[in-house]
Amino acid sequence: MSASSVAKNREKPIAVYGAMAANGVIAIAKGIAALYTGSSAMFSECIHSLVDTANEGLLLYGMKRSGHKPDQAHPFGYGKELYFWSLIVAVALFGIGGGLTFFEGLTHITGHAAEERGNVMWNYAVIAIALIAEGTSWTIALREFLPSVKGKRLWQALRDAKDPTTVTVIFEDSAALAGLLFALAGVYLTEITGNPVWDGIASMLIGVTLSGVALLLAYESRSLLIGEAADPSVIDSIRQFAREDADVVEAGRPLTMHFGPDEVLLNLDVRFRADLSSETIMGVVDRLERGIRERHPEIKRIFIEAESLRRDGDDPAARPSSN
């Protein structure tokens, strides 16, 4: 995402609030349907929606925590709090959502579940309402995300995104829509065959879907927590800008790391003209920093090193540190 769109989404996380409201209402409706009909698939969907509602709350908490200002203990700020809570969301989705729904389906298949009862039309009505609500939430999240795609394929843009909030909502809502279709199939097949195994299979498929999405979210959160670089286009832009300065002989490949969706650290090796005085070099450094920030506002901290220039391909870990 661009810095402006990320900042806007964090100030007004419409997608997260929309998903939280939709999931909360849907969870109640699914719970009522499961209570009256004894459907395993509907009970699994109720668990799914409850977990999603709690997850949106965790995302909002993470967004609030990540906005805290830097202090002595955390001089680079708390931006990575958002990535941490995104990881917790993935763990909750896998352990609670995927695990419980899979177990619920297993009990139906093995014959340990209570006999289904009540009017099956409860299930159909709730599934229809849930499809509309989840579809609306998914559309809102997708519309917020699309401006950041910028010519990329949607899947690649989702993988490259540095703001996990909207991406998490898109993946969770996609899993919810798939889960509702599984539930619909399970309820229908159980009704026409009289065999509750189909309901159990639907519940297990919902669990597998949730676990798959959770593993994907966990993988992406892990990558961001470790420290992902800025987008390659941003890195190339910074290097090209530095090289075009009249007082710069050469610029090494910028080293960048995200400390949050709209907060990037930059370390840049620059070789200046040999005839420049110390005062002139300081002026050039200031000029480079201003220019980089104007082009890429998300870069909040810039460290320009003039002592040496690392060659491309060298291992950064093998390079002597400088203070």
Give per-residue pLDDT as tens, 155-213: 888 888 888 888 888 998 899 899 999 999 998 998 898 888 898 899 899 999 989 99
**C-alpha–C-alpha distance, residues 182 and 128, integer Å:** 13
The mean pLDDT of 63-91, rounded to a whole number, is: 88
Mean pLDDT, residues 124-144: 89
Q: Which helix (H) or strand (E) holds 68?
A: none
User: Mean pLDDT across the stretch 270-275?
Assistant: 90
Alpha-carbon distance of 318 to 257, in angstroms, equals 18
Query: CA separation (Å) from 78 to 66, 259, 263?
Result: 5, 8, 10
In terms of DSSP bridges, do strands 299-305 and 248-251 run parallel, antiparallel, or are they unpaired?
A: unpaired
Query: Per-residue pLDDT averaged across 223-250, rounded?
Result: 92
Pick the more confident residue, 225 or 18.
225
Whole-model pTM: value is 0.76
Residue 74 CA, chain-centre distance (Å), reads 23
Better-predicted residue by pLDDT, 281 or 104: 281
Phi and psi (nearest 5°) for 39?
-75, 130
Percent of all residues in the chain with a pLDDT value above 90, rounded to a whole number = 25
Domains of the chain: 3-226 (1.20.1510), 232-318 (3.30.70.1350)
What average pLDDT does this structure show over 64-82?
A: 87
Looking at residue 313, its pLDDT comes to 45
Q: How confident is the model at residue 286 (pLDDT cuts 50, 70, 90)?
A: very high
Of the chain, the percentage scoring pLDDT greater than 70 comes to: 89
